[in-house]
């Protein structure tokens, strides 16, 4: 492998600016790495080589003219395949969109292209971002670069695996209930879900619109902070987009955290936690004490209801959002229909996979006449209580800490026949989406099998700088981020 591919985005940027390597050479090296590994990993649904090399050439032209480069220019990035890139296939890993070619760019894609970030391809995911293991793709499974018998986490498994395996230096994922943080934890990298509304969702294929948020994957906290800066900002095309100035997160990374109050979430440190994960998190807490942070125990009494709330609200929104895939406007249409109703029914039966169908049915039931008040309305009321728990907690502490997941990456197929066991892997991550707060997973050790463990940090809305600062200090106090998957 080209040694430069192992470097962080910050280090690659320096190498480009010093003319140690060209952007075309770096991007070409990324494609060589993808060609070497993709059959084993299943990371990409499609590659966008022409677009990436065209962007890389623009970077080299700027360097030749000694012009200032935008942030992260020339650094190879993988885009989750539920985000639109004009002229490329955008499938959401579903048969129903298998041959859909996007006619327009998502807002985040425009921002990447304007910053001259080469997009190397569209990363595989659980179909329509529904899953925790990346076994639900209609095309092929994604495998964990640390152990090819294990899952990479979902739904953004392809994005996380591409960064962990050095096929790409950066990636974007979407997080509805942990779909960035969980794969980051399983793959030993940094993954971050920003405050709801911080990043435009225009051009993201919707799953659950009140929960979805786009965020960065990287091998270092600094790279994740810089990528969030590139994709953040107000967008009039997204009514939920926050009209706030874009922050320079990297300026706050080295702030002293002496006296920072960190709350350990009591409910996420008890039953169900694997011994190795518990030990790694305890070590992380000790590291924060050495860095001068104050550690206190915090209770979030309603967090235990998060899974139930989430699987009513998310499935209800999924049922509504996925109604547009009917075989009429675009996407797959069954060739064997004698009437309009038969065409709708067969198209959706043939086009959607089992997990997507399961969630559509759950959501349709929750929204149906006679059950709306009993399920959907109650879930919204409980969501308010979960959010209030966080508001009260942040009056006492600056950030919250927990494991990202109670366990490390499990074996392929281990939970495939037990949807409830699969849903429980998101127990620590879902509440942040319900409350709309930012959350980050940073590597904090390895289990007895050498699989990565993630530490989750949560902050109040719009306090991403505080989150990056605390994560960066922890990261640099250890060497976990320097250890790469030996694939």
Kindly state the average pLDDT of the residues 4-27: 97
Q: Is 184 in contact with 441 (CB distance < 8 Å)?
A: yes
How much is the average pLDDT of 214-218?
A: 98
pLDDT value at 233 more than 90: yes
Per the residue annotation, which of 80, 198, 415, 473 is the catalytic one? 80
Q: What is the pTM of this model?
A: 0.97
pLDDT for res 136: 95
80 among known catalytic residues:
yes
pLDDT computed for residue 423 by the predictor: 80
165 is catalytic: no
Catalytic member of 22, 102, 155, 319: 155
pLDDT over 90 at 8, yes or no: yes
Q: Residue 159 pLDDT > 70, yes or no?
A: yes
* pLDDT per position as a tens digit, 36-47: 999 999 999 999
Share of the chain above pLDDT 70, in %: 100
Q: What is the crossing angle of helices 221-231 and 9-17, to 10°?
A: 80
420 has a pLDDT exceeding 80: no
- For 18-148, where are the alpha helices, taking DSSP H only? 23-41, 49-64, 107-114
Known catalytic residue: 179? yes
**Mean pLDDT of the 316-328 span:** 96
Residue 54 has pLDDT above 80, yes or no: yes
**Stretch 341-370: mean pLDDT:** 95
Query: What domains appear along the chain, each with residue ranges and CATH number?
Result: 3-255+469-482 (3.90.1300.10)
Q: For residue range 68-84, what is the model confidence (pLDDT) as tens digits? A: 999 999 999 999 999 99
Q: Which of 8, 174, 179, 402 is catalytic?
A: 179
Measured CA to CA in angstroms, residue 473 lies from 40, 225, 265, 365, 476 at distances of 35, 13, 20, 46, 5
pLDDT band (50, 70, 90) for residue 481: very high
| Beta-carbon-side half-sphere exposure of residue 361 (alpha carbons within 13 Å) | 9
Q: Give the pLDDT score at 248.
A: 96
Mean pLDDT of the chain: 96
Instruction: Tell me how far apart the alpha carbons of residues 125 and 36 are, in angstroms, rounded to a whole number.
Output: 20
Rounded average pLDDT over 429-444: 98
Q: What is the pLDDT of residues 162-182, one digit of tens each?
A: 999 999 999 999 999 999 999
**pLDDT category, 1, cuts 50, 70, 90?**
low
């Amino acid at each position: 492998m080209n040694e430069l591919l192992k470097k962080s985005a910050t280090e690659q940027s320096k190498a480009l600016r010093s003319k140690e390597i060209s952007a075309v050479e770096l991007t070409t090296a990324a494609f060589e790495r993808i060609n070497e590994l993709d059959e084993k990993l299943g990371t990409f649904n499609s590659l966008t080589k022409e677009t990436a090399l065209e962007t890389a050439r623009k970077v080299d032209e700027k360097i030749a003219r000694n012009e200032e480069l935008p942030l992260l220019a020339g650094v190879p990035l993988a885009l989750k395949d539920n985000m639109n890139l004009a002229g490329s296939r955008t499938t959401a890993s579903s048969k129903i969109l298998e041959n859909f070619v996007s006619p327009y760019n998502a807002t985040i894609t425009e921002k990447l292209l304007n910053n001259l970030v080469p997009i190397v391809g569209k990363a595989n995911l659980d179909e329509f971002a529904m899953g925790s293991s990346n076994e639900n793709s209609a095309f092929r499974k994604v495998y964990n670069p640390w152990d090819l018998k294990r899952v990479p986490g979902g739904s953004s498994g392809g994005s996380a695996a591409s960064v962990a395996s050095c096929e790409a230096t950066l990636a974007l994922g979407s997080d509805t209930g942990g779909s960035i943080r969980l794969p980051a934890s399983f793959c030993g990298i940094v993954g971050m879900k920003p405050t709801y509304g911080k990043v435009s969702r225009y051009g993201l294929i919707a799953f659950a619109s009140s929960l979805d948020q786009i965020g960065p994957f990287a091998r270092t906290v600094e790279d994740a902070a810089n990528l969030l800066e590139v994709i953040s900002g107000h967008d009039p095309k997204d009514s939920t987009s926050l009209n706030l100035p874009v922050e320079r997160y990297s300026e706050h990374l080295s702030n002293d955290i002496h006296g920072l109050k960190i709350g350990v979430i009591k409910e996420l440190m008890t039953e169900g936690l694997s011994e190795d994960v518990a030990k790694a998190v305890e070590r992380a807490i000790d590291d924060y004490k050495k860095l001068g942070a104050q550690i206190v125990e915090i209770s979030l009494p309603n967090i235990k209801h998060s899974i139930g709330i989430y699987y009513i609200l998310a499935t209800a929104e999924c049922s509504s959002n996925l109604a547009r895939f009917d075989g009429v406007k675009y996407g797959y249409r069954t060739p064997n229909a004698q009437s309009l109703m038969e065409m709708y029914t067969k198209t959706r039966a043939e086009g959607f996979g089992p997990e997507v169908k399961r969630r559509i049915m759950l959501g349709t039931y929750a929204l149906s006449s006679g059950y709306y008040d009993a399920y959907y309305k109650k879930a919204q009321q409980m969501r308010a209580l979960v959010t209030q728990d966080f508001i009260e907690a942040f009056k006492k502490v600056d950030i919250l800490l927990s494991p990202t997941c109670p366990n490390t990456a499990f074996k392929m197929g281990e939970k495939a026949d037990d949807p409830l066991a699969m849903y429980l892997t998101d127990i620590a991550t879902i509440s942040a989406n319900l409350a709309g707060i930012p959350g980050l997973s940073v590597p904090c050790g390895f289990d007895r099998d050498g699989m990565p463990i993630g530490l989750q940090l949560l902050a109040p809305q719009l306090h991403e700088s505080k989150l990056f600062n605390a994560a960066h200090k922890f990261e640099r106090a250890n060497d976990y981020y320097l250890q790469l998957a030996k694939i």
